[in-house]
Amino acid sequence: MGAEITITGGNFEQEVLESPIPVLIDFWASWCGPCKMIIPIIDQLADEYEGRIKIGKVNVDEENELAARHSIASIPCLVLYKDGVIIDQKNGAAPKREIELMFKDIV
């Protein structure tokens, strides 16, 4: 397991909106095949960019209110926050390089 954190409705403001570094959130579910495909990539990125970007995971089944607030219609969905504002979003499974391009220029 990588250095990612679990994001919930209870810690969202502190971990995401008030974060001094960019935050990449992976909206996922345990039953989602494509979500499982990118787990190793997310883990690897969390380790490689630790301290420069925070990577969090939101289980949409457990945090449906948070998912609804982000209008998550399909998973996996990656949402990138910087300074408390969404700056990028990507739906579906993607290769490591494509995910990394979401934040590489800002970390």
Instruction: Provide the residue type at 23 as one letter.
Output: V
Which is catalytic among the residues 23, 25, 35, 58? 35
Reported pTM = 0.94
Is residue 20 over pLDDT 60? yes
87: three-class secondary structure by DSSP: strand
d(CA 7, CA 56): 6
pLDDT digit string, tens, across residues 32-78: 999 999 999 999 999 999 999 999 999 999 999 999 999 999 999 99
d(CA 29, CA 12): 18
Report the percent of the chain where pLDDT is more than 90.
Answer: 93
Instruction: Tell me whether residue 32 is one of the annotated catalytic residues.
Output: yes
Contacts of 41 (CB under 8 A, 6+ apart): 95, 96, 99
Instruction: Tell me whether residue 77 is one of the annotated catalytic residues.
Output: no
75: three-class secondary structure by DSSP: coil
More confident residue, 107 or 51: 51
- CATH 3.40.50.880 assigned to domain 5-103? The reply is no
**In the structure, what pLDDT confidence band is assigned to residue 2 with cuts at 50, 70 and 90?**
low
**In the structure, what pLDDT confidence band is assigned to residue 1 with cuts at 50, 70 and 90?**
very low
Which is catalytic among the residues 3, 5, 21, 32? 32
The pLDDT, as a whole number, for residue 3 is: 75
Is residue 79 over pLDDT 90? yes
